[in-house]
Amino acid sequence: YHFDRPKSEAASTKENSVVKEPDGKNKIKFNFPWYVPNHHAFASNLVRLCEEHTRKPQERNAYKPRINDLQVNFKNCTFLCKREFYNVTLDLPQETPCGPNNQTCK
């Protein structure tokens, strides 16, 4: 799972970015709005979209693309995909909730 948040950004949030689950495993706590239903599945989907984005020839499989939950723009329906040699802004999936009144990115 490839999630990127600089320590300074994680430290600036009021809540811990990692939550202990009852089974003892760490689970990342995301900073997505409450109207996004399953934060972990949503983040996993964004990472998959980031990985599927066309790679440049110099990129090998050693570097995994990353996302940052603080760089998901629900107003513009975009997110930042961090690659090894460049970053790219991609569109959120059309079905993504983008507001509290059942708005989506369609």
Strand partners, 82: 66, 87
Per-residue pLDDT band at 106 (split at 50, 70, 90): very high
Band of pLDDT at residue 2, cut at 50, 70 and 90: low
Kindly tell me if the per-residue pLDDT of 3 is higher than 70.
Answer: no
DSSP state at residue 102: S
Single-letter amino acid code for the residue at 34: W
What are residue 2's phi and psi, to 5 degrees?
A: -115, 100
Report the pLDDT averaged over residues 53-57: 67
